Structure 1
Amino acid sequence: MAALALALALALISSLSYLVGWQFQVSPPTIQCIVEKALIQITKLERECLHFVGASRTDTGVHAWGQVAHFITPFNYDSLETIHAALNGLLPSDIRVREISAATPEFHARFSAKSKVYHYKIYNDTIMDPFQRHYVYHSVYKLNTAAMREAAKMFIGKHDFSAFVNASRNDRVPDPVKTIFRFDVIEMGPLIQLEVEGSGFLYRQVRNMVALLIQIGKEAIPTEIVPKILATLDRRELAKYALSAPPHGLCLVSVKYNQEHLLLPSDCPTTSFGRHHTITKCKLPFY
């Protein structure tokens, strides 16, 4: 069997009302459930045969531009453009497959991942830009980005993040030790973008770290609170200062893999980035 790696671009504008994150469940529907149904319809395979797995189990309301998933297929494809077009034709408009490519049999979207990159956007102005309201958290308080930047650096390195994880039924005994490679605070006019890259993240860990940084940006608490909360290994300690930041400001931007996991078999079909239609081939009069 050959494994196909799917790079999914998910623009979840309406997902805030009817989707409850990535991980499979039938009702209410999840992104994994919807994509699996499309794959089953196209391949005629049973769900158990697909082994469809996502790199990151994003939470309800969280967006994803760089989600990666893989599934197993017994079929050989001369071209991936047909299945690519069929998938996007069956999926709702707020879920899109950006890219589909062949992968080595050893590739696993989740366990082969080297790191994941998340961005959290904050609109820091008295009046919110209505065009960004679905993707950006609005803070009317003027945030001290220098203090936020200093505090963000304290997360970098290998730590036990037990104090920054919410209880989850899906991860009963998660490994709380994670490595943060970088945590940047970038200002772009009224927009503040928090960029964090790590080996992996616990349930709501990013949103909890962001929530604490926002409180530090408001100058409600000092930057030195970060190592103190980390040392407690107690989620209740964080709750004294901050609750989870809202999900709509968070986006999974990319999942990174080691180079050996990206090497393609010699006889595999070329990567599909989607079909492109030219105006000269289009017979619709309004074009």
Structure 2
Amino acid sequence: MAKHQVEVQAWMLTETQRPVPSEDEYDSMVRSQWLESARAYDPHSSLAEELILRLRGDAAQSGGLDLTVGGLLLKPLQEAVTSAAEREVKLLLVGISPGSTVLHFRPAESEASGNPTDGVAGPVSVDTAVHRIIDLVTTAESGNSSPQWGNTEKSLGDVARVLAKFDLTADLRWMDQNGGVTSSSLSERGRNNVASWHEEVPSTGPEPVRISGRVTVLDEFAGSAKIKTGLSKRSKAYSVLFEPGDLVGLQLTLGQEVSFTVEERPRIKKDGSLSSDYFFVSWDNRPESP
């Protein structure tokens, strides 16, 4: 010890100045080293993928899963993973642990990959899908807006609403096949931010659109007129909105053939679906006054 005292002190100084790894980094290191040792005996060794969901709050103190909570929560969680993977992926509940309520899931992919839900060709690994969800949760916790809109964000919104209903915080932790560990939490702050993504907000700027057809409904109280574009029952119909007083001043009649220029204002509804409102701009084929 006396002979190597200088070297020992230098080594201790270096070690104490190293940054303390996070829980995820430490667990990733331990799992990766275990896997490296196992592969020395079997090169094909791998770890099972596992998604751990820890629920914290008064409704999750028993260490079990209330069926009221589980019935509402597990379906949107499943849908979020399936949407992010862009194909059908089943989550199997393989265990429940104490420590509030800790749910352990393992993915079981169906044999039929199905059609991509977001129109993107090619398979997406479960690992990539879960990382997308965890990244979204991290984005929500940071208070930022979602960079895009799709079924994954909608499903996460459904999860957030269930958590808010029971005042629960959800800790998500993903353990991949190669030992990596990634986690994030969806607290009240994150839930509120996800809810703001689901408000009715314009998705794009207004666009001028021309609508031609017959006037089938006039609603003076609502300030709207329905324009049916064809004679068939299946023909598309548009509900056109007018400024107060404009509808009466135009003196439209039922069955009248009209051609309007309207302003289309797309928006995202609270359930995550897309919709558009049409606001009157001009009456292009308006008959001249005698």
TM-score normalised to structure 1 length: 0.19
Ranked by relative contact order (alpha carbons within 8 Å, sequence separation 6 or more), the top structure is 1
More helix by percentage:
2
